[in-house]
Every structure is written in structure tokens, then in C-alpha cells.
Amino acid sequence: MGTVRAFAGSLPMSALDQASIHFSAESLRVLNLALAFLMFAVSLFIEREPLAKLRRQPRGLLVGLVSQWLYMPLMTVALILLLKPPPGLALGMLLVSACPGGNVSNYLSMLARANVVLGISLVTISTLTAAVATPGLFALTARAVGAAGALPELHVDLVGMLWTVLAIVALPLFLGGLFRHYAPALALRIRQPLRIAAGLLLLAFIVGGFAGNYRLFLEHIEALFGWVFLLNALAIAGGYGLGWLFRLPEADRRALAIETGIHNSGLGLVLIFNFFDGSGPMALIAAWWGVWHILAGGVVAAVWSRIPPRTGLEA
């Protein structure tokens, strides 16, 4: 099991890189269960109809997956190689970039007058594929950055991460699908309260973590803010830009911008606490991303809510 502080490398370690956030074993179990509970609730919202509607015009979906699973990780690697953030922050950025879309993006897409069906489909597919995509992309991008000399040597426990994501993402999604199939009326009735309860549980854990480590957060917020702001801004702009490049309708471009900019940082926190011993910089990046992407996405969506999307394919 690799840890940020266990690198054997020649790069100097800053005070931030040596910082560590610790939770008890019981707290880690609560975090794992909270995310699994949330994934089960999310599975009750997964519909076949949105994907079926996109079969006739799959270009938006394909471009969105390219934006999430190719552009975002590669852009993060390029940003790290160009600007060379501290190693711990770099790893946190890579892990967040490899996480699937977050569910709040669907609400923001609706507010932004974006293609909500496209947004829901992208969240669904990225979540379903996260069990393999998230650990795999993180391992590949960390290795690429390390090979370029921007990080000390890192040994990623890919198998362990894969099993963890399978247990807390894939298994709850599967069980939720079974529940919805065999008890559709009950699933429909409880899914919204269940998702709210699961989200509040996860939020309570994150808030508790901040409360217990607020001095560490305040000490390094200046460094965190700039990196998260830049990464999120490039994600939103890149998603929209890819939609423009492939001449998608304006509503699709907005959906791609929001979906590329919103990530499930809760999954990132689970992996950080399970495989990186609560690395301070990684956890702070993931936690601050969880706050900032909602703020930034909300501002973008609020602006777009006042501007009806063009109906043509204007460049």
C-alpha cells in the first residue's frame, strides 16, 4: 500500500507535503459506508431512457466521455509538468481528475439550461465505469508525471484500489439495480429521501474532518485555492471548448462544461484515507475541490440560466 510520505525520491518535501490528516479506523469505516450508501441511493435514479434517447445521436455522449476520461487527466498532467506544484498537491489533483462525475452536476445542468439528458447519461456512465477507470487513470497519470521527474517514485496499490472502488461503488450500484428491479414502487418512493440522507452523512463526515483539522486547512488555504481554482476553471472551459470544437449544440456544450468540472471528490477522499494514510495535501485538495466545484459550477449555471441556449450549431 503506497503512501505519499513513503516516497523514495530526490524532490524536496515541503511542510504541506509532510502534513497528515488522521482519522480513527471507525471513522474510516463510516466514510466508506457513507459513500457506499450514497452510491446505492444514486443507483435508484439510474434510468435506461436517457441512454436510449442518445442512441440516435451519440456524438454528444462520446465527446463528453472524451472530456471526462481523456481531456481532464491529460490536462492535469500537463498542468503539473508545466507549473510543478508540490508533490502532495499534484497527487491530489491527479486523483480528483480521475474521479467520476458528481451528482450535483445534474441539478446545475438543469439550472444552466443545458442538455440534462446528456448530463445524466454522462454521470451514469462515468459512475458505472469508475471501478476500473478511477484507479487505472490515477495509476497511469501518476506514473507519467513521475517518469517526467515531477514526482518522486510512487507505487500505487492498483489492485487494492480496484477492489475498494468495486466494493463501495460497483457493488452498491448493482444491489440498488436489483432493488429497483424487484421493488420498483418502493425504490421510487424512497430514493430521494435516501439520497438526501446519504449526502448529509457524507457531508457530516467532511465537515467533521474540517473541524478537526481546521488549523491545517487555514494554514494552507492560500496554496490550495489557486491550484483548485485553476484546475476547475480549465475543466469547465475545456468541456465547453470540446463541445464547440465538435460543433455540438449550445445546450450540449453547457452540459459538457458542467460535467467536466464536477467530480465525485468523496470517492477521492475514500481512496486517500484508505491508501495514502490521510495525506494532508491530497485530502485538502479533494475536500476543497468538493466545496469549490459547487461554488464555481453554481456561478456558471446561474449566469447561463439567464441566457437561453442557441438552437443551432453556431461556432
User: pLDDT: is 26 or 91 the higher one?
Assistant: 91
C-alpha cell at 193: 429521501
Residues 6+ apart with CB under 8 A from 264: 99, 100, 101, 102, 103, 127, 130
- The Cα–Cα gap between 241 and 247 comes to 10
- Is 250 contained in some domain? yes
What CATH number did the domain enclosing 222 receive? Answer: 1.20.1530.20
- Is 12 contained in some domain? no
Please state, for a pLDDT cut of 70, what percent of the chain lies above it: 78
Q: CA 129, 55, 258, 124 torsion: positive or negative?
A: negative
- Is 224 contained in some domain? yes
- Is 310 contained in some domain? no
Question: What are the CA-CA distances from residue 42 to residues 103, 109, 118, 120 (Å)?
Answer: 8, 17, 17, 11
- Is 192 contained in some domain? yes
Question: What are the CA-CA distances from residue 154 to residues 76, 88, 143 (Å)?
Answer: 17, 11, 7
> How many other β-carbons are positioned within 10 Å of the β-carbon of residue 299?
10
User: pLDDT: is 287 or 302 the higher one?
Assistant: 302
Determine the residue type at 133. Answer: A
What's the rounded mean pLDDT across residues 78-101? 92
pLDDT digits (tens, 9 = 90+) for 220-277: 777 788 999 999 999 999 999 999 999 999 999 999 999 999 998 888 888 888 888 7
- Is 4 contained in some domain? no
Res 50: pLDDT: 58
User: pLDDT: is 52 or 267 the higher one?
Assistant: 267
Name the pLDDT band for 153 (thresholds 50, 70, 90).
low
> How many other β-carbons are positioned within 10 Å of the β-carbon of residue 73?
19
The parent domain of residue 98 ranges over 22-305
How many Cα atoms within 13 Å fall on the side-chain side of residue 262?
30
Q: Average model confidence (pLDDT) for the chain? A: 81
- Of 36-50, 136-150, 179-193, 280-294, highest mean pLDDT: 179-193
Domains identified in the chain, total number: 1
Res 2: pLDDT: 41
- The Cα–Cα gap between 196 and 153 comes to 40
Res 137: pLDDT: 94
- The Cα–Cα gap between 261 and 291 comes to 12
- The Cα–Cα gap between 114 and 158 comes to 36
- Is 16 contained in some domain? no
- The Cα–Cα gap between 153 and 119 comes to 37
- Is 14 contained in some domain? no
